[in-house]
């Protein structure tokens, strides 16, 4: 296993802004305003964050959504937020030459290089949590102290936003059939939130 511990308790603004976009696409603006107000984040509806945000704010938003949205709507919205985050990273954070190179490489090598880049930037999405990766197949990614489900109790995995972000990146840069499944979640009592990546047709 290799990994690194993210320091600090702040997360990139995508955790708020992309979720707001996903909610706006699914719900009337007044309902989204009410959700942000319930999470104590009404100010972000007036002025979306442009810098790192307190991870406790992100956790509060996810707790509020879990408490107030029907399960199917919650799953759809959190996945959409993750996909939008992946699209933003592809458009603004991963250089085009790097993307082109990864697409030319065999999937196992491209996956290893992409994981290395994710590890270097894990502090931007894991906050004070610890990111780790297990090479091999299926590839496994984990976040211990996950800020998205902190303080939650759930019967199903609660970190669909991360799963969708990882899936978008790996599908665009590693293999078009890549899929990511959250196989363990701290909200369900696990020691860490674990995501498995597969891309073989026979899986």
pLDDT in tens, the chain (203 residues): 334 333 459 999 999 999 999 999 999 999 999 999 999 999 999 999 999 999 999 999 999 999 999 999 999 999 999 999 999 999 999 999 999 999 999 999 999 999 999 999 999 999 999 999 998 899 999 999 999 998 899 999 999 999 999 999 999 999 999 999 999 999 999 999 999 999 987 77
Give, as one character, the DSSP assignment of residue 53: E
Short-list 110, 112, 88, 115, CA closest to 100: 110
DSSP state of 175: -
pTM for the predicted model, two decimal places = 0.93
Q: Which domains does the chain have, with CATH numbers?
A: 2-198 (3.90.1520.10)
Q: Which residue in 79, 99, 121 sits closest to 170, CA to CA?
A: 99
Q: In what order do the strands lie in the sheet with 139-144?
A: 2-5, 130-134, 139-144, 193-198, 179-184
Rounded to the nearest angstrom, the gap between the alpha carbon of residue 185 and the centroid of all alpha carbons in its chain is: 13
Compute the distance between CA of residue 199 and CA of residue 4 in angstroms, rounded to an integer.
Answer: 25
From the centroid of its chain, how far is CA 160?
A: 7
Going by their DSSP bridges, the two strands 139-144 and 130-134 should be labelled as: antiparallel
Q: According to the model, what pLDDT value does residue 6 have?
A: 38
């Amino acid at each position: 296993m290799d990994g690194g511990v993210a320091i600090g308790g702040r997360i990139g603004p995508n955790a708020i802004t992309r979720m707001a976009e996903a909610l706006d696409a699914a719900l009337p603006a007044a309902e989204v305003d009410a959700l942000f107000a319930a999470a104590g984040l009404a100010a972000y509806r007036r002025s979306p964050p442009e810098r790192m945000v307190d991870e406790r704010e992100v956790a509060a938003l996810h707790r509020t959504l879990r408490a107030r949205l029907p399960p199917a709507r919650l799953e759809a919205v959190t996945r959409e937020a993750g996909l939008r985050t992946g699209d933003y990273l592809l458009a603004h954070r991963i250089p085009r030459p790097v993307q082109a190179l990864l697409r030319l490489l065999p999937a196992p090598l491209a996956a290893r290089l992409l994981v290395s880049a994710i590890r270097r930037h894990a502090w931007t999405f894991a906050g004070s949590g610890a990111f780790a990766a297990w090479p091999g197949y299926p590839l496994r990614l984990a976040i211990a102290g996950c800020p998205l489900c902190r303080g939650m109790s759930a019967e199903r995995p609660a970190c669909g936003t991360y799963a969708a972000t990882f899936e978008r990146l790996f599908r665009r840069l590693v293999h078009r059939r890549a899929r990511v499944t959250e196989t363990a979640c701290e909200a369900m009592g696990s020691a860490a939130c674990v995501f498995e990546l597969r891309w073989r047709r026979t899986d």
